[in-house]
A and B are shown apart, each in its own frame.
Chain A
Amino acid sequence: MKYICLGYHDEKSWEGKTEADQQAMMDECFAYDDDVLRKNGHFAGGEALQGTESAVTLRFRNGKVDVTDGPYAETKEQIGGILILEARDLNHAIQLMSKHPGVKTSTFEIRPAADISELIRESEKRRSKKN
Chain B
Amino acid sequence: MENIRTVVDEVYRSESRRVFATLVRLLGDFDLAEDAMHEAFAAAVEQWPSIGVPTNPRAWLVSVGRFKAIDALRRKERLKEIVSDLAEEVGPALYEMEDRDEAKFKDDDLRLIFTCCHPALATNTQVVLTLREVCGLTTEEVARAFLSSPSTIAQRIVRGKAKIRDAKIPYEVPSPPDLPERLDAVLSVIYLVFNEGYSASSGDALTRPDLSGEAIRLARLLLELLLDTEVAGLLALMLLHDSRRAARSDDHGDLVLLEDQDRSLWNRDQIAEGREIVERILSTGNFGAYTVQAAIAAAHAKAPSSSETDWGEIVALYDILLRAAPSPVVELNRAVAVAMRDGPAAGLELVEAILGRGELSEYHLAHAARADLLRRMGRKGEAKSAYEQALTLAKQAPERRFLQKRLTELGP
Contacts and interface: CB of A to CB of B under 8 A. Distances in A.
Question: Are A and B a genuine interacting pair, yes or no?
Answer: yes
Interface of A: 1, 88-92, 94-95, 112
Interface stretch (B11-19, B165-173, B255-263): B165-173
B226 interface: no
Given A1-B168, A90-B170, A92-B170, 6 more contacts: A89-B170, A90-B167, A90-B168, A90-B169, A94-B120, A112-B166
Contacts of B150: none
Q: Counting chain A CB atoms within 10 Å of each CB, which of B118, B168, B172, B174 scores highest?
A: B168
A118 to B, nearest CB: 11
Nearest to B164: A90
Contacts of A89: 168-170
B170 A112 contact: no
A112 B178 CA distance: 21
A112 B118 CA distance: 16
A88 B167 CA distance: 11
Interface in B177-203: 178
8 contacts: A89-B169, A90-B118, A90-B168, A90-B169, A91-B169, A91-B170, A94-B120, A95-B178
Interface size class of B (residues with CB under 8 A): 10 to 19
Which 10 residue pairs spanning A and B have beta carbons closest together?
A: A89-B170, A89-B168, A112-B167, A90-B169, A90-B167, A91-B170, A90-B168, A1-B168, A90-B120, A112-B166
Contacts of B167: 90, 112
Nearest to A112: B167
A91 B173 CA distance: 11
A33 to B, nearest CB: 22
A91 B170 CA distance: 7
Nearest to A87: B168
B368 to A, nearest CB: 37
A89 B168 CA distance: 5
Nearest to A115: B166
Contacts of A1: 168
A98 to B, nearest CB: 9
B170 A88 contact: yes
A89 B178 CA distance: 15
A89 B120 CA distance: 12
> Could you say which of B118, B167, B174, B178 has the most chain A C-beta atoms within 10 Å of its C-beta?
B167
A1 B174 CA distance: 19
Contacts of A91: 169-170, 172, 174, 178
Contacts of B174: 91
Contacts of B118: 90
A1 B165 CA distance: 12
Interface in B323-343: none
A42 to B, nearest CB: 15
Contacts of A88: 170
